[in-house]
């Protein structure tokens, strides 16, 4: 299997790239082709919008790649997501797109456009504690659709999003169809009042109210709230589900950590 790595958001570090390449060589079941754009730097981003877009479109259009693996999150894929979908080449539909966090902007728009996308670990995760397992989990799923890599409680159509990213794509041309899916959410580096505000926004959306249920992944690196927020992330999510009439389906095994599992978005039938 040939896997292209590009960085539509922030840049991949050379250290992470080397370690992930070593893992792939040791496995012997896949070839990772890390696009040089992954190492560009332009302020916050892995190169200017034009460069990130060109690299993404190049690997999407290349029929020799079976998968596109986003190098890391951060911020910035929303700036090129719509343009990436213009005049979609046939080869773009024959591959799968894997990543999480900021890649949610791409996942949303790509799923809406009929492409196969999945939430899961990314190359830069290798630098986390336990990161090699995360990278191998992603590759196990990409190469042989290993069920052990999947979020363990999936039992129907599901999507996974970073809550803040989800909030920021609602109402945009990237917004996908949520009807009937299990919506798995997680977040990182937010104050609890922001989690509460994002849940207000997300659960007020008529599109989101069509999900089968919401399940809560991990909310990590929560920033201090002054004064302390009444409740925690679970009571916040449960409370907004109750208020909006959305079923709360319990916890989910996803998050900004090395234990993060794979959540393939539903196959499109249209």
Site for its own copies, rule CB under 8 A: 41-45, 74-76, 78-79, 167-173, 192-193, 196-198, 200-201, 204-206, 225, 227-231
Query: Nearest distance from residue 171's CB to its own copies, in Å?
Result: 5
Residue whose CB is less far from its own copies, 74 or 99? 74
Query: Nearest distance from residue 78's CB to its own copies, in Å?
Result: 5
Residue whose CB is less far from its own copies, 21 or 239? 239
Residue whose CB is less far from its own copies, 79 or 268? 79
Strand ranges for 35-181 from DSSP E? 67-70, 96-99, 116-119, 158-162
Query: Nearest distance from residue 193's CB to its own copies, in Å?
Result: 4
Strand ranges for 104-209 from DSSP E? 116-119, 158-162, 182-188
Query: Nearest distance from residue 190's CB to its own copies, in Å?
Result: 11
Phi, psi of 268 (to 5 degrees): -90, 135
Residue whose CB is less far from its own copies, 1 or 170? 170
Residues 109 and 85: beta-carbon distance below 8 Å:
yes
Cis amide linkage into residue 227, ω under 30° from 0:
yes
Pair of tokens at residue 180: 């009937």
Torsion angle in degrees (nearest 10) through CA of 251, 246, 73, 268: 110
């Amino acid at each position: 299997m040939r896997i292209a790595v590009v960085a539509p958001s922030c840049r991949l570090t050379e250290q992470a790239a080397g370690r992930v390449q070593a893992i792939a060589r040791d496995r012997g079941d896949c070839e990772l082709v890390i696009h040089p754009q992954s190492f560009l730097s332009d302020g916050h981003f892995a190169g200017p919008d034009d460069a990130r877009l060109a690299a993404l479109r190049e690997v999407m259009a290349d029929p020799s790649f079976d998968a596109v693996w986003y190098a890391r999150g951060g911020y910035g894929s929303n700036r090129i997501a719509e343009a990436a979908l213009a005049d979609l080449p046939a080869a773009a539909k024959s591959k799968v797109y894997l990543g999480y966090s900021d890649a949610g902007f791409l996942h949303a728009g790509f799923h809406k456009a009929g492409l196969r996308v999945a939430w899961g670990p990314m190359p830069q995760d290798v630098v986390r504690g336990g990161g090699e397992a995360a990278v191998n989990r992603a590759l196990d799923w990409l190469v042989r659709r290993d069920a052990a890599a999947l979020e363990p409680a999936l039992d129907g159509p599901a999507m996974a999003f970073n809550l803040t990213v989800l909030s920021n794509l609602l109402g945009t041309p990237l917004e996908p169809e949520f009807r009937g899916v299990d919506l798995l959410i997680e977040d990182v580096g937010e104050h609890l009042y922001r989690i509460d505000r994002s849940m207000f926004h997300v659960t007020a959306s008529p599109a989101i109210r069509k999900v089968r249920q919401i399940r809560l992944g991990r909310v990590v690196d929560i920033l201090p709230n002054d004064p302390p927020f009444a409740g925690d992330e679970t009571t916040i999510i449960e409370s907004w589900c109750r208020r909006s009439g959305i079923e709360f389906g319990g916890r989910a095994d996803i998050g900004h950590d090395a234990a993060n599992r794979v959540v393939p978005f539903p196959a499109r039938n249209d």
